[in-house]
Chain A
Amino acid sequence: MSGGASVLYDVPGPKAIARNRILGGLVVVVVLAAFAFTIFRLADSGQFSAEKWEAFTYPFIWQNIGLALLRTLSAFVLSAVGALVLGFLLAVARLSTVRVLSIPATVVTEVLRAIPVLVLMMLLYYGFGSIGVPMSSFAAVVIALIAYNGSVLAEVFRAGVESLPKGQGEAGFAIGMTSRQVMNLILMPQAVRAMMPVIIAQLVVTLKDTALGFVITYNELLYYARYLMSQTTLGNPIIPSILIIGAIYIILCLLLSWLAHTVQKRTSRSVKVKVKVAAHHPGNPGGATDTQMMAAQDVGTDDQTGHSQAGG
């Protein structure tokens, strides 16, 4: 889409170029006006005064931000690892031909995906607290994130396995592999590779969702930001705190997204994946689940916010 032909419009002629320039100018004016107004309001309400920013000149505040960042990251890392493991187990169980395994796995996956993460966190934190099994907010955040993202990843893995040509599994059985060997040595490695961008995008979602811990008083970055905002002795630095903590979050997510993009590029260079993408011709999303479509379409796939509904 770099100025060339697109499905929506032709390469612009002189008339269209002139019109596009005018529209482009309009966009610039609107965006600049919005920016200018915001900055005017910020200045007007005294957000640029030195005292509002004074808090961030103290090393101990930065030390605390660092500690809060560590708590965010430790919740993320633990949840990510746990979710990958749970997702793998649920996917294998759901794909199993043994009904005693596949039916409960299906029910668990579907139900866990339907409950909002925040409700899950509250259930663990307040719910278990109220029946006499108190849980730390850290444990509640991590378990909820593992349960939710694990069930989403299970669907991603399953969609990946189901998108593979049938002959892959059949060939494995033909040379005498057990169904466990077929799954672990043939299907899963290919599925994980094909779904890598979706998997990493889901990990970005996990990172973002650690911020929900704020609601159940897990002492992470946003919780600390809220604490700073409420400090009258520091002049209630609301805007500075949001800007700084927000920047930290955005940088973290961008780093992970960037990783996702790099991996996506690398995997799409692989021959096998190219075959797969060709099989799901963009013009024919017919048999594809949207997870497959997302993978095939090179979409920033975290847009499902973890709800990659697989239809097949």
Chain B
Amino acid sequence: MGVITDNWDLWVDATVGTLQIFFFGLIIALVLGFIVGAMRVSPIPIARWVGTAYVNLVRNTPLTLMFFVFAFAVPVVFEIRDLRLLGILAIGLYTATYVAETLRSGINTVPVGQAEAARAVGMSFTQVMGHIVLPQAARSVIPPMMSVIIAFLKNTTVAAGFSIMNLGSIRAYLSERGENAMVVLLWVALVFVVMVFALSGVQRYLEKKWRVAR
């Protein structure tokens, strides 16, 4: 416990850092992912191609490389130098592709006949979407989306390699203060296990809650 209570300031900084990356990155990932997901299922061929190209390119790129681009290349080319902002952008843009794919596959689980039947009984476009397609899609999207969010939370540690303060980088600071790296890292691991288990619990709850309905 001493490792935590003696270095309270650093642990608070690190946790706040991780949560900052998590929340702001998640906002970027969800908004951009929603746009790209919509592009990938849109009736406009060019939008579909652009969406597909983005998803395929970024998903075949290691997250570390995304951080390379944002931490080393963007400052030179675009003269943005706020590392924390760049890190959030890197991980947000990376996770957006996973969000987009989850949305797309969720929409694809709804059989075409559902929408056709709705149109056949005279529903308008908004009614078809609001009453028939999206509620069904949402049910199958939420559990895998939670998996994406959990993976995203764990991925925030990669920022540690690029001098952005978060739970992944706390070891370097505490080693300077003479703490044992093993103890520090076991605590970090425990924090993540607790956070991930909490999110998994939410996921299981949602999965169960929506399993009944059909």
**Residues of A bordering B, CB below 8 Å:** 1, 3, 5-10, 12, 16, 20, 23-24, 27-28, 31, 38, 41-42, 45, 47, 110-111, 113-120, 122-123, 126-131, 204, 208-212, 214-215, 222, 225-226, 229, 238-239, 242, 245-246, 249-250, 253-254, 257, 282-287, 290, 293-294, 297-300, 302-309, 311
Contacts and interface: CB of A to CB of B under 8 A. Distances in A.
A300 B101 contact: yes
Given A242-B72, A304-B147, A284 B214 contact: yes
Given A246-B69, A302-B59, A8 B41 contact: yes
10 contacts: A27-B47, A114-B192, A126-B181, A126-B182, A215-B64, A215-B158, A283-B114, A285-B109, A293-B144, A305-B155
B43 A303 contact: no
Contact of A287 (B125, B129, B211): B211
A49 B58 CA distance: 27
Interface of chain B, main secondary structure: helix
- Chain B interface size, under 10 / 10 to 19 / 20 to 34 / 35 or more: 35 or more
B69 A290 contact: no
Interface of B: 39, 41-48, 50, 55-57, 59-65, 68-69, 72-73, 76-78, 97-98, 101-102, 104-105, 107-112, 114-116, 119, 125, 129, 133, 136, 139-140, 143-144, 146-148, 150-152, 154-155, 157-158, 160-161, 168, 171, 175, 180-182, 185-186, 188-189, 192-193, 196-197, 200, 203-204, 207-208, 211, 214
Nearest to B111: A283
Nearest to B206: A311
Contacts of A47: 76-77
Contacts of A222: 62, 64-65, 68
B174 to A, nearest CB: 10
Given A305-B155, A309-B203, A299 B189 contact: no
A211 B63 contact: yes
Contacts of A122: 168, 171, 181, 185
A131 B56 CA distance: 43
Given A8-B107, A45-B77, A304-B144, A249 B101 contact: no
Contacts of B182: 123, 126-128, 130-131
B185 A8 contact: no
B143 to A, nearest CB: 5
Contact of A6 (B43, B119, B136, B189): B43
Contacts of B57: 250
Q: Across chains A and B, which 8 residue pairs bring their CB atoms closest together, nearest first?
A: A215-B161, A211-B62, A305-B151, A253-B60, A114-B196, A127-B182, A116-B154, A130-B181
